[in-house]
Structure 1
Amino acid sequence: MKLSLIAVMAAATTLVPLSALAETDWPQRTINVIIGASPGGDTDFNARTMARYFEQITGTGMVVTNMPGGGATIATSAVRDAEPDGYTMLFGHTGHLIVTEVSGLADYGIDDFEICCVPAIDQGAVFVASKDSGLATPADVKAAEPGSVTFGTEFGGYSHLQGLIFQQATGAEMTIVDTGSASEKIASLLGGRIDVAGIAYGAVQDYVSNGQMVVLGQPNEERNPLLGDIPTFREQDVDFVMNNPYIIAFPKGTDPEIVAKMESVMKEITELPEYAKDLEEGFKQPVSFLPKDEAMTRLNAIRDAYMPYREALQAAR
């Protein structure tokens, strides 16, 4: 009888959703999710998609607040200085919490927050060239006259670092200019003001399809099959791998049980087939998830890899 009871209890335990495992009664009211990006981009999309499923699982809503500007430092500062009660949360990425520290835009970084998890990894970025540039491969960029290829970026931000690492990997010498956000990069590519940029494929696929842009490659370790027949840079003999983990973080001092509850809810979300479908249709993004400990290992490794570019990033500011 005892053995049977234990077996029944064990089976019942396996049916309990992960989000119910934490003892805290959080959340009891709406959570403010702050992002350092404008509406419509990949960060905004991921945050709002998460928020929709969070409400479905917990019954509690999230309000996504866009605070673009300052290389996301406006948003990260707002979260860092917020009350650590679990009702203010950051949804950002390595550009917001690591690159800004490396570039000197912020005097704080991941150690100044309670990192919850990596809820997703952007594997939908590609490097594209304008049709008028005549560039079709990384080899074309390398072979171009030094300084003749213009790379559009946001100085001191993630895309600036993309350009620097791409240059080093290819041996190319590009002119790196500050063009602004993804939408501004697209406008500059179409207008012939820049030649190359790193952008989410979902934002440029129509321009690629109609021949206005050419994809040079995807900076993933292995091909993201959702992007179609686009080779990685490594397949083209360029050692350039750079994808961007998103980060969920709370103000320092937030109750560890709240952080753990959010981690388990996010894991549940990533196990939903409809969530995977939304990511695929939105930004050609496969589902990824790293719990807190794995997330910190990954983020610290990224910070170490980016630190050698500190002077170059700061010199452009």
Structure 2
Amino acid sequence: MKRRTLLLATLAVPASLALQGTAQAAGYPSKPIELVVPNIATGSTDMVARTFARHAEKRIGKPLVIVRITGAGGYNGSRAVREDQSKGYKVLLTHQGLIANYLTKMAPYSYDGFKVGPVVAEDATVGLYVSGRSKIKSINDLLARARAEPGKVKAATEYGTYNHFMFLKLQKEQGVKFQMVEIPGDAGRIPALLGGSVDVIAKIYSGTEDYLKSGDFVLLGEPTGTRAPNAPHVPTYKEQGVDFTFPPYLFTLFFNRDTPDDVVEQWAEVAREVTSDPAYRKEIAALGMAVAYRSPQENTAAYAAIQKTMAELASGAESFARQ
């Protein structure tokens, strides 16, 4: 009877605690872990990273230190993790920008240059914004002007990034051509739109509310099949008669390929617990994003499908007007 009771008690140990015990036996983690963000502070990736780190470090058992390594559309940061030999002490948090960098030859590797970890949040609200002073008030207005003035409508983006591919997809499917103007980051693109030096930018919904309320910006819609859970009041392009969608940002943990599989699985369990935590879900919602969880296996399949779609657009990645 005692043996049976002991066995049942052992089986009742939560998976997270069992996993923690396995990790401790393997000696991981024994020191603080760097969470590398390949984008600027206050950007969407940085906001997700800081929020996730606060909740994850309580479960992983060591401090998570945010390290921002910017430049080259995210390539500098991803390379730092790809070349790291610490086997789990430098973790990358990014999204499908890895695929965009690869297809535009900014990086010699894609998502499969890493061990793919779990998704910890997503954002499907990469909408198109125009100035409130513009005569453009809808996605149909934008497309009509782009067709009437091929190559004249200035679209601010950054070569080799994910939202650059969104413009390429819109061009290809809607038979229009924009003048691509390279302006890195929201910190550059928002003032450019406010100042009238560009006609349209692509940006997630978070951080635009004040511009929309003041009338400085007009949001033309969202590229989702159904309305995004973090912006349910914003109509999709499909609702406006334009058959255009684009995959959401999948904020994902990536690991150097030499990282042990059990370390990746430990992080998958940590991510599962964090994304189930009501406090984390509330904080992510407050950022204007949505909580999502995909296992490393599910996530790898999602990235493969997205890369297939984006590869068909890569030939359209023409040079930019520089400013």
Normalising to structure 2: TM-score of the pair? 0.91
Amino acid across the alignment from 1:9: A
Change (3 A) 1:20 1:133: farther
Q: 1:21 aligns with which of 19, 30, 34?
A: 19
User: Which letter maps to 1:91?
Assistant: L
Given the alignment, which residue of 232, 248, 270 partners 2:275?
A: 270
2:304 to 282, 300, 313: 300
Deviation at 1:224, TM superposition (A): 1.6
Partner of 1:168: 172
CA contact (8 A) 2:206 2:289 kept: no
Q: Structure 2: how far apart are the matches of 1:130 and 1:267? A: 40
Q: Give deviations 1:231-277, integer Å, cap 9, x for gaps.
A: 01121222222211122111111111101001110110000111111
1:125 shift after superposition: 2.4
**1:44 aligned to which of 46, 56, 62:** 46
Structure-1 residue corresponding to 2:218: 214
Q: Does 1:223 align with 2:227?
A: yes
RMSD over aligned CA atoms reads 2.1
1:74-223 mapped onto 2 (5 Å cutoff): 74-95=76-97, 97-144=98-145, 145-146=148-149, 147-223=151-227
1:142/1:173 contact within 8 Å kept? no
For residue 313 of structure 2, give the secondary structure of its aligned residue in structure 1.
helix
Alpha-carbon contact 1:104-1:314 (below 8 Å) kept = no
Separation of aligned partners in 1, 2:295 and 2:223:
24
Displacement of 1:6 in angstroms is: 8.2
Partner of 2:317, secondary structure, is helix
Structure 1 counterpart of 2:117, which letter? C
How far apart in 2 are the matches of 1:143 and 1:70?
33
Q: The residue matched to 1:226 in structure 2 has which SS?
A: coil
Kindly state the Cα deviation for residue 148 of structure 1 after the two structures are TM-superposed.
Answer: 3.4
Post-superposition shift, 1:172? 3.0
Structure 1: stretches of 5+ with no match in the other structure: none
* 8 Å Cα contact 1:84-1:250 kept in structure 2: no
Distance 1:38 1:208 in 2: 23
Query: Aligned to 1:245, what secondary structure does the other structure show?
Result: strand
State the distance in 2 between where 1:42 and 1:19 align: 31
% identity of equivalent residues: 28
Shift of 1:24: 1.9
Q: Aligned equivalents of 2:314 and 2:234: distance in 1?
A: 31
Give how far 1:59 is off: 3.0
CA separation of 1:139/1:254 partners in 2, compared to 1, >3 Å: closer, same or farther? same
Structure 2 unmatched runs, 5+: none
1:287 aligns with one of 273, 284, 291: 291
Of 140-149 and 205-214, the range deviating more from structure 2: 140-149
